[in-house]
Amino acid sequence: MGKSTGFMEFPRLKRPWRDASERSLDYYEIYTPPNKNKLKLQGARCMNCGVPFCESDHGCPIDNLIPEWNDLVYKGRWREALERLSKTNNFPEFTGRVCPAPCEGACVLGINEPAVTIKDIENSIVDVGFEEGWIRPNIPDKRTGKSIAIIGSGPAGLTAADQLNGVGHSVTVFEREDRIGGLLMYGIPNMKLSKSVVNRRVSLLEDSGIVFKTNANIGIDIESETVLQSFDAVLIATGSTIPRDLDIPGRDSKNIHFAMDFLTQNTKSLLNSSLSDDNYIDAKDKNVIVIGGGDTGTDCIATAIRHGCKGLINLELLDQSPIERDALNPWPLWPVIHRTDYGHEEAIKRFGNDPREYATLSQEFIFDAKHNLTGLKTNEVKWQKNNGRFEMNIVEGKEKVWEADLVLLALGFIGPDQTLINQMGIDLDERNNISAAHGSFETSKEGVFTAGDCRRGQSLVVWAMNEGRGAALSIDRYLQGSSSLSAPMIKLGSEER
């Protein structure tokens, strides 16, 4: 695959982002256009390894045929590369933009050299495919007469819809929001995943025969029993939407918000009025504290910068990760290392320093006589190992009060909304997610399946797609007795990832 000596001749060279000073002034995507010649050289770095760990249990959750399309890009055969990519990935334009690329963490070259730029190549393949007009609606030759309701239009729901429609079932997708896309539409900011990219794919799915219904909150706007009686099978793909809170004194102060409320309102207002309607949480001229790291925290940082915030701090409870893998984090495990994401880079450019403060425990919100937030009291902590487990200890004398006008809680999610689940009488697991085995995706109720974050807990877009493909296979077998659909292999330890 690639050029036999390419990994020795060519250095890793990522497709660059737009300049931080420029991009932080708008909501256009942060990416620069693909450079085919440079990407050809990156494809040449794929080293024809005996076992492609990029596709292993620690690599791509949807079994992308990575070495094959790397080689095709190196040879300039872009359309064939798209065909190989499309065999396993329904929406490469989503994963190519937002996936953290576990495939690169497991790349064999990454043992002692920087990994192949797999994510950049994937994203560029699909971008070229759209530019050339190669990607078109997938209209089935005939219909089976079977109907399926999919509740939720995030990555799991859309993937399952695409798969099931492709084999001839009639699919209706119900979305409680006013636009299709779920997390892809409102959970990820426009600069990381343009909503025009999401809408382009949704239009293709509609042209393929899938029916979408917005403002349709099953269990509230539409009785769940109506859906159960109207369709031959139901897939619940509602995501993990209950945010984790921070129960400390002063939590009821004004101007403390969950990160997803901040991001969702911003994108809605951006799409509805270019932010002129003021129907969003504005960070302009405010001292902003984002509590919690991860992608959502980074997205909050980048959005607050675009609002024109006065100051910005990002508090993380854990220690800063090492610059390179340590002995307890060997290849091909996901590299737990220090990374500077797009939002951090923009904050450094705007304020002159990295906004992240590590090993910091939030202890109390401070407010004035009108209950307006004015600050946050924290304490430094020290993490130490005790009998093989890390324990947190407060460092005496290291209290600090941060000035704050707006606090955003980016602490993850604890499970799906229970309204629909309770109405249908579906069993939950010990984590309050919908109980269903990976591989079958069948719930405790006959004819009802589940996939994505509402089943496995908060996870990656690419894992939601893994589950959407797997659930589609299971539903097709349930309806037809057998299936021609393919699904990703069941990964070892998939329940823990």
DSSP 8-state symbol, 151:
E
C-alpha distances out from residue 135 to 30, 68, 128, 374, Å: 23, 19, 10, 52
Q: What is the CA radius of gyration of the chain?
A: 23
Task: Tell me which amino acid residue 349 is.
Answer: K
Confidence of residue 1 (pLDDT cuts 50, 70, 90): low
Closest CA to 266 of 292, 241, 301, 237: 301
Q: Please determine, for residue 491, whether its predicted confidence score (pLDDT) is greater than 80.
A: no
Q: Which of 20, 16, 42 is nearest to 31 (CA)?
A: 16
Query: Whole-angstrom Cα distance, residue 261 to residue 265?
Result: 6
Q: Which of 403, 430, 385, 135 is nearest to 289 (CA)?
A: 403
Q: Is the pLDDT of residue 189 over 60?
A: yes
CA distance linking residue 76 with residue 263, whole number of Å: 39
Q: What is the pLDDT of residue 155?
A: 98
Q: What pLDDT digit, counting tens, does each position of 340-381 carry?
A: 999 999 999 999 999 999 999 999 999 999 999 999 999 999
* Residue 370, amino acid: K
pTM comes to 0.95
Domains of the chain: 6-132 (1.10.1060.10), 147-241+424-481+491-496 (3.50.50.60), 245-409 (3.50.50.60)
Cα-Cα end-to-end distance for the chain: 29
Q: Are 392 and 381 in contact (CB under 8 A)?
A: yes
Chain segment 97-151, per-residue pLDDT in tens: 999 999 999 999 999 999 999 999 999 999 999 999 999 999 999 999 999 999 9
Beta strand residue intervals within 48-168, DSSP E? 147-151
Question: Average pLDDT in the 320-326 region?
Answer: 94
| Residues 399/376, Cβ–Cβ less than 8 Å | no
The CA-CA-CA angle for residues 133, 138, 143, to 5°, reads 160
Within 10 Å of residue 318's Cβ, how many Cβ atoms?
13
**Residue linked to tokens 């009108």:** 370
